[in-house]
């Protein structure tokens, strides 16, 4: 089973309402690329975050099947609610938790530091896991790796920084953490450019990655096409953003 664990359904943080057609194209892109599921790590501070999550997971906006823990599209692709949080120090953390927990998070960029984000999630009393997103990307670093590793559960290997892959793997090895593959796609082109490959059946609840992360396995996967998809997506995105 392949999951892309870092995706965006909004073209940027200013898009207020989700676009039915672009989401349908993302689903088609998954089918073409052999991606079985997406974690929708939309920016929590995006103005359209709540609209997107409610449209998908509550109002059945794209006419699929709502499951207790995820949304199943009619084409068999599973969508998991998530969020990307920009911390006080500028680094980005993927939060995977039940929808109601995600909606309760503060939507101000930089509101949390990592200990307060973690504490907030623990207080909610539900399952969750945290992923360090593109942690070596300029201006997104978390320099205190020992502190970072105290609170997170996995290191993302990002499609957009595949040339530095060794840094991400070494960090995961140093702290005995899992690696996940994420595309950080904002368009259908980049979907799956880096992805997470697991044996586990999706029927493991509440999230198929929870048990995989516990095993601390290296789960990222990419191909020589990954960098090209990132660059093509960037070009396409710049052509449609006003
Ligand atoms: Fe992102």
Name the band, by pLDDT with cuts 50, 70 and 90, for residue 205: confident
Any alpha helices (H) in the chain, and if so which ranges?
20-33, 49-57, 99-104, 114-124, 145-151, 165-174, 208-214, 226-240
Residue 54 has pLDDT above 90, yes or no: yes
> How far does residue 129's CA lie from ligand 1's centre (Å)?
16
> How far does residue 83's CA lie from ligand 1's centre (Å)?
9
48 token code pair: 């359209």
User: What pLDDT does residue 201 have?
Assistant: 63
> How far does residue 156's CA lie from ligand 1's centre (Å)?
11
> How far does residue 147's CA lie from ligand 1's centre (Å)?
22
Q: What is the mean pLDDT of residues 25-46?
A: 96
Evaluate whether 18 touches 51 at the Cβ level (below 8 Å).
Answer: yes
Angle at 5 between CA 21 and CA 151, to 5 degrees: 140
Q: In this structure, which residues have their CB less than 5 angstroms from ion ligand 1?
A: 84, 184
> How far does residue 88's CA lie from ligand 1's centre (Å)?
16
Q: Residues 104-154: pLDDT tens digits?
A: 999 999 999 999 999 999 999 999 999 999 999 999 999 999 999 999 999
Average pLDDT of the residues of the chain: 94
Indicate yes or no: pTM above 0.75. Answer: yes
> How far does residue 174's CA lie from ligand 1's centre (Å)?
24
More confident residue, 84 or 73: 84
Residue 202 has pLDDT above 60, yes or no: no
> How far does residue 42's CA lie from ligand 1's centre (Å)?
7
């Amino acid at each position: 089973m392949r999951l892309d664990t870092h995706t965006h359904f909004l073209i940027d943080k200013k898009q207020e309402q989700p676009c039915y057609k672009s989401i349908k194209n993302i689903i088609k892109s998954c089918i073409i690329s052999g991606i079985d599921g997406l974690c929708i790590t939309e920016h929590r501070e995006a103005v359209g975050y709540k609209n997107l999550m409610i449209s998908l997971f509550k109002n059945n906006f794209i006419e699929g099947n709502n499951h207790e823990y995820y949304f199943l599209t009619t084409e068999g692709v599973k969508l998991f609610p998530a969020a990307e949080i920009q911390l006080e120090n500028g680094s980005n953390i993927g939060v995977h938790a039940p929808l109601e927990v995600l909606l309760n998070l503060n939507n101000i960029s930089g509101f949390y530091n990592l200990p307060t984000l973690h504490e907030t999630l623990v207080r909610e009393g539900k399952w969750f896991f945290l992923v360090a997103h593109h942690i070596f990307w300029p201006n997104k670093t978390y320099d205190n790796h020992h502190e970072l590793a105290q609170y997170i559960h996995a290191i993302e290997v990002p499609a957009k920084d595949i040339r530095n892959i060794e840094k991400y793997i070494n960090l995961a090895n140093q702290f005995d953490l899992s690696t996940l593959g994420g595309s950080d796609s904002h368009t259908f082109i980049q979907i799956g450019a880096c992805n997470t490959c697991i044996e586990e059946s999706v029927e493991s609840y509440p999230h198929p990655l929870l048990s995989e992360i516990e095993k601390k396995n290296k789960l990222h996967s990419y191909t020589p096409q990954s960098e090209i998809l990132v660059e093509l997506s960037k070009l396409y995105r710049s052509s449609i953003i006003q």
